[in-house]
Amino acid sequence: MATDRLSVVRDPIATTGYSVSYTGTAGVTSAYNPGASTVMVWCTTDAYIKVGEGVTATTADTPVPSYTPMWFPVPAGSGAPFRVSAIQISAGGTVYTKPFN
């Protein structure tokens, strides 16, 4: 059976999704084991997002509108666990994350 690229990108990995609150101080999720190619991010308020090893979001990172699921590539790194970090644009909220292949 052939698998198209879209279904491969959106196949969830059998792992826990994480959420974390953020305000004017960045929130950082628990670490995900390496291996995912993308991570789905969904925020309750507009936020800046950063994905990678040992990251902390700043206002120089990617802005994401509230209530809009977005897929971010997981950067190739050293093979260490990766995290997702979020910081508010104008109001605090919660970021929800789930890795995908």
Predicted confidence at residue 5, as pLDDT, reads 45
Q: What is the DSSP string of 8-20?
A: HHTPBPSS--EEE
Question: What are the domain boundaries of the chain?
Answer: 11-100
Rounded Cα–Cα distance for residues 65 and 70 (Å): 9
**Per-residue tens of pLDDT for the chain, all 101 residues:** 444 444 444 555 657 889 999 999 999 999 998 888 899 999 999 999 999 999 999 999 999 999 999 999 998 878 889 999 999 999 999 999 999 87
Architecture of domain 11-100: Sandwich (2.60)
DSSP label at residue 53: T
CB 68 within 8 A of CB 42: yes
The Cα–Cα gap between 100 and 52 comes to: 14
Q: With the CA atoms of 49, 73, 40 and 55 taken in that order, what torsion angle do they form, in degrees rounded to the nearest 10?
A: -40
> What pLDDT, on a 0 to 100 scale, did the predictor assign at position 7?
47
Coil/strand/helix, residue 7: helix
Tokens for 25? 């101080």
Confidence at residue 12, expressed as pLDDT on a 0 to 100 scale: 56
Going from the C-alpha of 79 to that of each of 4, 22, 32, 53, 63, the distances in angstroms are: 27, 26, 11, 9, 26
